[in-house]
Structure 1
Amino acid sequence: MRLKNGNWVVVCDAGKYVVYENQGDTDRLDLRVISFDENTNPPTHQQGSDRPGRLSSPDGQNASVGDTDWHAQEETRFISMLARQMDGWAKGEPSRRFVLIADPKSMGTLRQSLNDHTLSRIDHSVTGDHAHRPVEAVEALINGA
């Protein structure tokens, strides 16, 4: 795929994102980091210590309630926060275009969380877990797509 100068590449998973801007041209990529964040999200068993709740039914039987998956909730919150940021970036710069690179679960959460205006600015999407790869690998991925 060819990226114009000024296009942004958002690479993320449920715990990290990196946003690059192409400072090259359509023939030669030159991705530069403009924003990043990494979320510390321990497993659920380290976040909650309470046992599952119990409910009583009218016939006197007790039933357990499933555990809350605090880890999954934090992953969703992190991706939703990134979506809000992307919405702001799209609104702030009328000509801004995006390329999304994310693992399948994060891609789904991100697409559901973005507003229609931002979704219309996405030129390409690549599904795969590339958030922890170096910039050279991301450039090679884009050049190969």
Structure 2
Amino acid sequence: MDGIVDQGTGISVQPGLMEINRTGRRTGSNAISSQKQEAVTMKLKNGTWVLVCDGSKFLLLENNGVEDIIDLRVVAHDQAVNPATRDQGTDRPGRFAISSDRRGTTQETDWHQLAETRFAQDLAEKLGRWETDKRFSDLVIVSDSRTLGVLRSALSDQVKKRVRGEVQKDYAHRAIAFIETALAKE
């Protein structure tokens, strides 16, 4: 996805989708200057879906407010049980011979990370089904960096066309009121 990523806020601004305000400078998402961004305003249309997720939980919200006043309501949610790798693994790493007097080991499988990746891929499939059923027209993704990377690669082209913005923050375990406030400030 092409866009500008603000390193301070972690927001990926796609041209024409969000409004960036700069004091005394040009406004609009295409405005790029060497000065630091002072304020970024995220405006969500009524009916925009906001996906808040990490590797084991997702919260799908719909904006029932207007562009300036965000009012998020729950559409769907899910949380996977994903214990730590030490609780899932059953054996020590495998060994192999490097030469007659030396042995090497293979890296232990990170079962926890594999489960988080599968969770994000399954979530991308759900979004694809919901897009096919025409359940949403605009989508904003709020996720930690690792899950966001998995989602970007797993989302179908049709869903990618509906993504209006990304916020690289881990808000999956936060209250909806906090998410509303945080998005209003983004």
Q: Same fold (TM over 0.5)?
A: yes
Shift of 1:84: 0.7
- Paired residue for 1:19? 60
3-state SS of 1:33 partner? strand
Aligned partners of 2:51 and 2:59 also within 8 Å = yes
- Paired residue for 1:48? 89
- Paired residue for 1:133? 174
Task: Give unmatched runs, 5+ long, in structure 2.
Answer: 1-41
For the aligned residue pairs, the C-alpha RMSD in angstroms reads: 1.6
Deviations 1:55-94 (A, max 9, x none): 2357575321111110110010111111111111122117
- Paired residue for 2:13? none
3-state SS of 1:118 partner? helix
Identity of aligned residues (%): 38
- Paired residue for 2:7? none
Give the structure with the larger helix fraction: 1
> What amino acid is the match of 1:142?
L
Aligned partners of 2:130 and 2:136 also within 8 Å = no
Shift of 1:51: 1.4
Number of residue equivalences? 145
Please say if 1:88 is aligned against 2:135: no
- Paired residue for 1:32? 73
- Paired residue for 1:121? 162
> What amino acid is the match of 2:152?
R
> What amino acid is the match of 2:72?
L
CA distance in 2, matches of 1:17, 1:39: 9
CA distance in 1, matches of 2:162, 2:137: 7
Task: Give unmatched runs, 5+ long, in structure 1.
Answer: none
CA distance in 2, matches of 1:2, 1:92: 25
TM-score of the superposed pair, with normalisation by structure 1: 0.92
